[in-house]
């Protein structure tokens, strides 16, 4: 059979797999295999090697993205559908964050450089919200939430089993809204004050990682990074505080991610700030976003040797599942945020056994499967290097991203229109 022909007898990709065979990918796109290889060489479609096999697999989401773009050229209906998919047509104009090969740029400023320069998370948050970057150190005044909030949140600590951090964040956001007055922060004109209070409250939730889980009110003389570090260490070193601050800065925003879009949809309907952030937290907790940190940790849980890590990676790839925390589509040459976090993690000594295994995991994924790390595994590696408990990476990522969600809520309110995408009806009966 000629190479340009597609055999319909070729085994299909496993149902539910995140990868496609070359034949299935070409069939879905209605192209010749040679064209598929051209798309791969141009970086439009990512491929992954299979341990012990010559053939490669192709990312289903990349194939779907190209298919939607092709359909978009045929009519407005297809374009509307493409607009709602990752990598589809633009949906919302924003002046907050731009994704570039060097990583995200916050209001025109490179996020990796902001982190490297030691800009405080508070200053970067205000940059996202207002467009102004303050040079002097910032400390947000902590406005204690109502007493009802403290009573309700301390009940969480009495749970026999620890709740996942996204649920604790969601609970804290909800309880804070319930405990507040019925008048919206929009009507009171206190949105920025409410934003600061919300981030400080979520910072207090990091206390549930402690040996004695509890909500810990941030002290007014401490920065967000210092408060986070104090929840993990009795006497945090400045190096740990600086590393946590850099991680929060790099997590602060990433253009129109699914969770950010959820926040903007809620904001477009006139929802209160905390309701918008609650929508974002729910979306971010999914396995392909903030949950990817947890999935990466679960993949390595109880692993003792590099050989065991290698076997788990191979089993994941052979099952047709994506290895969590790698190959973010917008960074075909690698996620600059992850590169910085990994360098930061390697600079922290001494490295514990868990940290060494995570670095082995990343090296094996890069060398054997040709995968490039993204921010999820960068956060996992940094958390391990700092000696933080499992699930800390996703907790810090969510905390940092709250700043970006708030910025997008503010921008969407100023836009003054409701985000209401159209559906294209399809009778599948």
| Residue 388, domain member (yes or no) | no
Lowest mean pLDDT across 24-28, 170-174, 268-272, 314-318: 314-318
Q: Which residues contact 320 (CB under 8 A, 6 or more apart)?
A: 13, 14, 16, 17, 18, 19, 57
Q: What pairs with residue 49 in β-bridges?
A: 56
Which of the two residues, 298 and 247, has the higher pLDDT score?
247
pLDDT tens, position by position, 194-226: 999 999 999 999 999 988 888 888 988 899 999
Q: Give residue 1's pLDDT band: very low, low, confident or very high (50, 70, 90).
A: very low
Question: Do the beta carbons of residue 70 and residue 85 sit within 8 Å?
Answer: no
DSSP assignment letter at 421: -
- In the chain, % of residues over pLDDT 70: 86
All residues at 6 or more sequence positions from 144 whose CB lies less than 8 Å from its CB, including other chains: 217
Token pair, residue 94, equals 């924003």
Peptide bond connecting 280 to the previous residue in cis, omega within 30 degrees of 0:
no
Beta-carbon contacts of 210 under 8 Å, excluding residues fewer than 6 positions away, are: 216, 231, 232
Residues 6+ apart with CB under 8 A from 58: 19, 20, 21, 22, 25, 36, 40, 45, 46, 47, 48
The structure's pTM equals 0.81
CB atoms within 10 A of CB 236: 18
* Structural domain span for residue 68: 19-83
Q: What is the mean predicted confidence (pLDDT) over 288-301?
A: 84
Express each pLDDT in 388-426 by its tens digit. 999 999 999 999 999 999 999 999 999 888 888 777 787
The stretch 331-345 carries a mean pLDDT of 95
Q: How far is CA 140 from CA 195, 231, 269, in A?
A: 11, 18, 29
Residue 205 near residue 215, CB atoms below 8 Å: yes
Is 240 domain-assigned?
no
Least confident of 3-7, 96-100, 222-226, 296-300: 3-7
Question: Total structural domains in the chain?
Answer: 1
Q: Write out the H or E segment, with its range, that includes residue 358.
A: helix 353-369
Find the mean pLDDT for residues 60-78: 67
CB burial readout 48-58, b (16+ within 10 A) else e: beeeeeeebbb
Q: Please report the pLDDT score of residue 8 as a whole number.
A: 37
Q: What CATH number is associated with residue 36?
A: 1.10.1660
Phi, psi of 27, deg, nearest 5: -65, -40
Which has more pLDDT, 230 or 220? 230
Angle at which helix 121-130 crosses helix 191-204, to 10 degrees, equals: 150
* pLDDT number for residue 317: 80
Residue 49 lies in a domain: yes
Q: Is the pLDDT of residue 88 over 80?
A: no
Residue at 301 is within a domain:
no
Choose between 206 and 8: higher pLDDT.
Answer: 206
Q: Does position 7 have pLDDT exceeding 50, yes or no?
A: no
For the residues 49-55, what does the mean pLDDT come to? 75
5: confidence class by pLDDT, cuts 50, 70, 90: very low
Reply yes or no on whether the pLDDT at 6 is more than 50.
no
Chain-wide mean pLDDT for the chain?
A: 85
In a domain, 288, yes or no: no
Q: What's the pLDDT tens digit per position in 108-142?
A: 999 999 999 999 999 999 999 999 999 887 889 88
Give the mean pLDDT of 228-248. 95
For residue 224, CA distances in Å to 142, 322, 333 come to 11, 34, 32
> What residues form DSSP beta bridges with 48?
57
CA angle 73, 75, 76 (to 5 degrees): 110
Residue pair 18/59 in contact by the 8 Å Cβ criterion: yes
**What pLDDT shows up at residue 187?**
65
Indicate the helix (H) or strand (E) that contains 59. Answer: strand 56-59
Whether the per-residue pLDDT at 80 is higher than 80: the answer is: no
- Is the distance from CB of 419 to CB of 263 less than 8 angstroms? no
Rounded to the nearest angstrom, the gap between the alpha carbon of residue 126 and the centroid of all alpha carbons in its chain is 20
Residue 28 lies in a domain: yes
Cβ neighbours, 10 Å, residue 5: 9
74 domain-assigned: yes
CB-based burial label for 138 (10 Å; 0-12, 13-18, 19+): middle
Asked if the structure places residue 118 within a domain, the reply is no
Token pair for 337: 């945020």
Residue 60's pLDDT band (cuts 50, 70, 90): confident
- When pLDDT is cut at 50, 70 and 90, the band that residue 186 belongs to is low
């Amino acid at each position: 059979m000629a190479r340009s022909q597609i055999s319909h007898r070729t085994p299909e990709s496993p149902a539910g797999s995140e990868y496609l065979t070359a034949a299935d990918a070409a069939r879905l796109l209605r192209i010749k295999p040679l064209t598929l290889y051209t798309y791969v060489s141009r970086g439009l479609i990512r491929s992954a090697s299979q341990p012990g096999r010559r053939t490669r697999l192709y990312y289903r989401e990349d194939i779907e993205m190209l298919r939607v773009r092709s359909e978009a050229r045929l009519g407005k209906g297809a374009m509307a559908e493409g607009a709602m998919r990752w990598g589809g047509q633009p949906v919302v104009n924003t002046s907050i964050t731009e994704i570039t090969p060097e990583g995200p740029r916050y209001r025109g400023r490179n996020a990796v450089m902001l982190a490297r320069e030691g800009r405080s998370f508070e200053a970067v948050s205000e940059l996202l919200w207002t467009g102004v970057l303050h040079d002097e150190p910032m400390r947000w005044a902590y406005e204690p939430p109502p007493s009802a909030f403290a009573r309700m949140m301390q009940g969480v600590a009495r749970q026999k089993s620890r709740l996942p951090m996204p649920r604790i964040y969601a609970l804290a956001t909800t309880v804070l809204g319930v405990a507040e007055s019925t008048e919206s922060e929009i009507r009171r004109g206190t949105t920025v004050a409410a934003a600061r209070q919300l981030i400080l409250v979520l910072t207090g939730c990091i206390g549930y990682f402690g040996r004695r889980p509890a909500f810990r009110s941030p002290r007014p003389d401490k920065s967000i990074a210092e408060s986070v570090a104090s929840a993990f260490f009795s006497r945090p070193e400045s190096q740990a505080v600086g590393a946590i601050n850099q991680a929060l800065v790099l997590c602060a925003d990433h253009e129109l991610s699914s969770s950010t879009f959820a926040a903007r949809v809620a904001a477009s309907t006139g929802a209160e700030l905390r309701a918008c952030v609650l929508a974002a937290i729910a979306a971010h907790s999914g396995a392909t976003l903030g949950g990817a940190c947890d999935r990466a940790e679960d993949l390595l849980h109880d692993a003792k040797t590099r050989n065991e890590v290698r076997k788990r990676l191979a089993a994941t790839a052979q099952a047709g599942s994506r290895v969590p925390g790698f190959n973010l589509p917008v960074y075909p040459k690698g996620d600059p945020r992850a590169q910085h976090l990994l360098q930061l993690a390697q600079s922290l000594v001494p490295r514990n056994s868990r940290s060494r295994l995570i670095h082995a995991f990343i090296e094996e994924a890069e060398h054997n499967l040709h995968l490039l790390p993204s921010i999820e595994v960068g956060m996992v590696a940094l958390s391990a290097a700092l000696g933080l408990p499992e699930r800390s990476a996703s907790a810090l990522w969510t905390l940092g991203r709250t700043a970006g969600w708030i910025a997008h809520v503010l921008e969407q309110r100023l836009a003054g229109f409701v985000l209401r995408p159209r559906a294209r009806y399809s009778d599948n009966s």
